[in-house]
Structure 1
């Protein structure tokens, strides 16, 4: 067989093939940018491997479900796959753009990165500087689902790219943000924006991810928010800035203004309340457990602080058949009783009306009354009219209290006489004093009970005015905003507890309280019998005349001017009522004559009085026996 030799043509062919291969290798070598991307991909892969339970396990990446175009660079694809695994499809088809949607009340922006609301503006309101109210803006909020994948990755939706789709009809607008593995496999955030509503329908659902998401690992939703400052007094706003929530099928509670870190169970909604505005996450299927945190961000009130508090909620989620399926709602709006009650979701608990009877009085008496008056009167005048009506309704209680004090004043000489007669026998003195009260038809507690009856009304109004949304940015006389403090002078320095300004309404309220207490304290001292220990009591009551107005002057300097206006008018009216009662209604001579008549009438002791008398007599006998021994 003839041996084939390597001729010149073969040599030329091999050289050409070698040259072509070298040229192809040179043409396809990675650029410096691609080399850098490749290095980042390797680092990401090392990190992902370190997070797995088995460090030796290798991550296998497939791209069978990524129908990318022919122009997609292979190295970029590898980088995306290394970073986001199966969700690289969305990363290759999305960008850092935002989607803007509005209705009559809200202006919203949705970010492709993270798929969540990146901006929420309340179109009808402005803050104390006449700037628009934003509940979400410039990365002050975070909404993230942390989950593991079947290829041993730990992913955060805030770092992944969603694809937006908008559909509109006459009733509402749907914004769909999809985090895609492919066109048929995705995680979706679905927002339903209705006209003229602060409530946004929100659903987290998935399709075809049961072989992508690792259901055996914890899946956690993190919802964080830093509350923007909206009011002139940040300390006053912060006092009413906290977390409210509903749990166990209708119960409600709140954390209070202090820092908190607690776990709550069976939660229907969580509200980040910022005095007059709230951000609320509601769910149709209650969260089994939620960890909530609130942290005060105001370190120095003299500094122009941007944020009030930092809120956080950590919520474990459960899959249904390996898929996400959580129907929720988002409320971004005012803590206006007329607004929150329209949703029938118990959101009126965001308004701190008070517990028990105090809340009942505010909801069913003062709120409807003030709403009615405010519908046709300026709000400052509405406060005055409501205060007058309240004082008129409470005037019978004031009358009874004053009459009781007058009766005690009339029989004071007789009580003093008993005290002198039995000054060495306390038991006998008490027996005779009680007998005198019984014969005269006078009760020392009669003056206290009317005052106690007024406490629920006073406390309810104390809660009502700082929570009345209608007072926000409503002016009256020199007060620019009845929901904040009024200012007649700015101080060049800050006084501890008082502030750096002078408010007039607290000064007027303090003066009214001073004169009211002088009247009532003088009447009480005149009605009290002179006995041991009473001089010290008299001094204490005199101190209270000055102490209470001083407390009002200091602490109410930063409170809502509407509340100070109420106290000023209320005490003025009370003083007027007491003067009328004293000068035109009560006749002490007639009261004295009636008491004398009562003393002549036989008095039938009730069971309690009889028992008390027997106990006192028995105690007196025992005392006498001990003296004989």
Structure 2
């Protein structure tokens, strides 16, 4: 048998295979590293797609070249709002609410080169960086969901800053994403990044003082409580916030963060406060510290409501931004939000604004009529007891303590209580104050006319004055005059039924009868005519109810018989009356002891 052996070619081939295997084993790139490189490339592509939220390549849609340092304006609009965005700073230069007009009947612009929105920090070389000074390239992309504008700045070293605006087909909520790529090479770990949002609010109403009163900065803090800066004077604060609202009476600009921002510096300043024809009312400033992400980059998502301060529009958005509307504090705000706003919204869907207000007056007065009846009944009892009270006052005119005791005795025997006449009035106060807060924020009144009033959300004018009167203005409004006149008749009629105070130092109702109507006439001259209309109708209806109750429902003879019957009944002191009697007796005893010591 032939012996098997390896020839030289086989040996060479075998050695070659061994060498090839060793080379592959020793010099093959690490599989994990290769995957990492591949994944990084894929992730960068995904990031680029996410940055622009478009499947199209950025360069294929490139409209401007970064080397061309000129400003271009881009239109971003939907059915409700139109924005013009500048490639310089990626700023919103103009914001137009397409469904609303200003006082000159022109397109209402919330933003018109009156806003700054910029990121600022110092670089590692201590050079100031301000995104407002950068020129951006941009692309546009429109889908069935809405339209987006992608703006990108690239510096000479390849670092990028990207602004992505997205506006849906309908509504007032603009979405903004801001991120950087490679800025960790520019930003030091100890550097502070600030977002500065400055805004000058336009005057959009005839009454600048009235509008300025409801133009203010507020924000939702980390505990979801809404806090306000003063609307009447310059103010500042440092606090955390989930969103910041620059309220402009009937319009608003609300910036919503993706997370709560801490140590925000808020400032509110009055502008041109000495002018009677102001273009701007207030300047709002917010300096917002921005934290960079783990990679040392800016990566922020914002939602930006720019639209009407209409409760029935703004309440449909998240994060309780409708709380930026001030309905009144405590129970007054609850009454407005739960009763008057739904009631007026229902009525205004079926009637004109003026008729809706009148019906709201009638319904409110009917609901409050039982309270008024109690008040008028108490006044009738006081009128019957007036001769006895006057006699007791004359008898003990030199002894105030005894006079007070005798007066309380007469009330107790007759079954009357002077507080019964005051309590109904106090019960009505929350309702009336809630209405006072309702009309300034009732967006539905804006632009609605009634009789001679062209706009129920601001004052009516029947005559212009050639001069300005402090507190009154430079015009004459008719509705406040009617409110003052009807209030005068009401206070005159109700005052004639009330007893004048017998205690020294107590105010005389005759003076109050003139002060209240005069105050209405002066201060309501610059208020919403809808408010004056409400009080005018309310006063007329109150007079009618008062005459009906006193002349038809109440019978003074029956009330007198009731008082006489009460006097015959044995009386037991209540806890309050007993305590009051003991206090009076203790005070009387102290007076006697003091007199004895003086002797």
Do they fold alike, i.e. is TM over 0.5? yes
Q: Answer whether contact 1:115 1:177 (CA < 8 A) is retained.
A: yes
Hey, what does 2:56 align to over in structure 1? none
2:292 to 295, 319, 322: 319
1:392 to 346, 361, 366: 366
Q: Answer whether contact 2:152 2:162 (CA < 8 A) is retained.
A: yes
Hey, what does 2:109 align to over in structure 1? 134
| 2: CA distance, partners of 1:125 / 1:471 | 13
Hey, what does 1:154 align to over in structure 2? 128
Hey, what does 1:475 align to over in structure 2? 449
Instruction: Give the direction of change, closer, same or farther, for the CA distance of 1:607–1:185 in structure 2 (3 Å limit).
Output: same
Shift of the alpha carbon at 1:333? 0.2
Verify: 1:229 aligned to 2:197, yes or no: no
2:577 to 590, 599, 609: 609
Verify: 1:306 aligned to 2:283, yes or no: no
Hey, what does 1:238 align to over in structure 2? 212
Task: Look up the SS of the partner of 2:316 in the other structure.
Answer: helix
Hey, what does 1:111 align to over in structure 2? 86
Shift of the alpha carbon at 1:617? 3.0
Instruction: Give the direction of change, closer, same or farther, for the CA distance of 1:489–1:605 in structure 2 (3 Å limit).
Output: same
Hey, what does 1:552 align to over in structure 2? 520
Shift of the alpha carbon at 1:561? 0.6
Counterparts in 2 of 1:594-605, with a 5 A limit? 594-605=562-573
Counterparts in 2 of 1:427-438, with a 5 A limit? 427-438=401-412
Task: Look up the SS of the partner of 1:135 in the other structure.
Answer: strand
Hey, what does 1:380 align to over in structure 2? 354
Question: What TM-score does the superposition give when structure 2 sets the normalisation length?
Answer: 0.85
| 2: CA distance, partners of 1:90 / 1:154 | 24
Shift of the alpha carbon at 1:174? 2.1
What RMSD in Å do the two structures reach over aligned CA positions?
Answer: 2.0
Counterparts in 2 of 1:168-187, with a 5 A limit? 168-181=142-155, 185-187=159-161
Hey, what does 1:569 align to over in structure 2? 537
Task: Look up the SS of the partner of 2:333 in the other structure.
Answer: helix
1:270-322 deviation per Cα after TM superposition (whole angstroms, max 9, x unaligned)? 1111111111111121110111112211334433x321211111111111120
Instruction: Give the direction of change, closer, same or farther, for the CA distance of 1:426–1:500 in structure 2 (3 Å limit).
Output: closer
Shift of the alpha carbon at 1:623? 4.0
| 1: CA distance, partners of 2:84 / 2:585 | 82
Q: Answer whether contact 1:491 1:502 (CA < 8 A) is retained.
A: yes
Hey, what does 1:23 align to over in structure 2? none
| 2: CA distance, partners of 1:386 / 1:507 | 21
Task: Look up the SS of the partner of 2:93 in the other structure.
Answer: strand
| 2: CA distance, partners of 1:209 / 1:619 | 80
| 1: CA distance, partners of 2:308 / 2:293 | 35
| 2: CA distance, partners of 1:614 / 1:498 | 51
Aligned residues between the structures: 533
Shift of the alpha carbon at 1:228? 1.6
1:493-546 deviation per Cα after TM superposition (whole angstroms, max 9, x unaligned)? 22232222211111111110110110111111xx347x4648x84xx3222222
| 2: CA distance, partners of 1:346 / 1:396 | 37
2:509 to 522, 528, 541: 541
Hey, what does 2:74 align to over in structure 1? 99
Task: Look up the SS of the partner of 2:439 in the other structure.
Answer: helix
Q: Answer whether contact 1:290 1:313 (CA < 8 A) is retained.
A: yes
Any unmatched runs of 5+ in structure 1?
1-88
Hey, what does 1:360 align to over in structure 2? 334
Q: Answer whether contact 2:483 2:536 (CA < 8 A) is retained.
A: yes
Hey, what does 2:487 align to over in structure 1? 513
Task: Look up the SS of the partner of 2:511 in the other structure.
Answer: helix
Q: Answer whether contact 1:272 1:278 (CA < 8 A) is retained.
A: yes
Verify: 1:409 aligned to 2:377, yes or no: no
| 2: CA distance, partners of 1:126 / 1:150 | 48
Q: Answer whether contact 1:221 1:316 (CA < 8 A) is retained.
A: yes
| 2: CA distance, partners of 1:499 / 1:545 | 24
Hey, what does 1:40 align to over in structure 2? none
Hey, what does 2:432 align to over in structure 1? 458
Q: Answer whether contact 2:236 2:268 (CA < 8 A) is retained.
A: no
Counterparts in 2 of 1:83-94, with a 5 A limit? 91-92=66-67
Instruction: Give the direction of change, closer, same or farther, for the CA distance of 1:607–1:488 in structure 2 (3 Å limit).
Output: closer
Verify: 1:485 aligned to 2:459, yes or no: yes
Hey, what does 1:282 align to over in structure 2? 256
Counterparts in 2 of 1:45-84, with a 5 A limit? none
Hey, what does 1:80 align to over in structure 2? none
| 1: CA distance, partners of 2:580 / 2:371 | 28
2:309 to 335, 360, 365: 335
1:449-471 deviation per Cα after TM superposition (whole angstroms, max 9, x unaligned)? 11011110000000101110000
Hey, what does 1:15 align to over in structure 2? none
Hey, what does 1:49 align to over in structure 2? none
Hey, what does 1:421 align to over in structure 2? 395
Instruction: Give the direction of change, closer, same or farther, for the CA distance of 1:565–1:532 in structure 2 (3 Å limit).
Output: closer
Instruction: Give the direction of change, closer, same or farther, for the CA distance of 1:327–1:588 in structure 2 (3 Å limit).
Output: same
Q: Answer whether contact 2:120 2:193 (CA < 8 A) is retained.
A: yes
| 1: CA distance, partners of 2:363 / 2:544 | 14
Instruction: Give the direction of change, closer, same or farther, for the CA distance of 1:351–1:626 in structure 2 (3 Å limit).
Output: closer
Q: Answer whether contact 1:126 1:133 (CA < 8 A) is retained.
A: yes
| 2: CA distance, partners of 1:392 / 1:358 | 20
Hey, what does 1:53 align to over in structure 2? none
Instruction: Give the direction of change, closer, same or farther, for the CA distance of 1:109–1:593 in structure 2 (3 Å limit).
Output: same
Question: What TM-score does the superposition give when structure 1 sets the normalisation length?
Answer: 0.81
1:337-374 deviation per Cα after TM superposition (whole angstroms, max 9, x unaligned)? 01110003222223221000000000000000000000
2:237 to 232, 245, 263: 263
| 2: CA distance, partners of 1:624 / 1:285 | 71
Task: Look up the SS of the partner of 2:346 in the other structure.
Answer: helix
Verify: 1:213 aligned to 2:187, yes or no: yes
| 2: CA distance, partners of 1:359 / 1:112 | 43
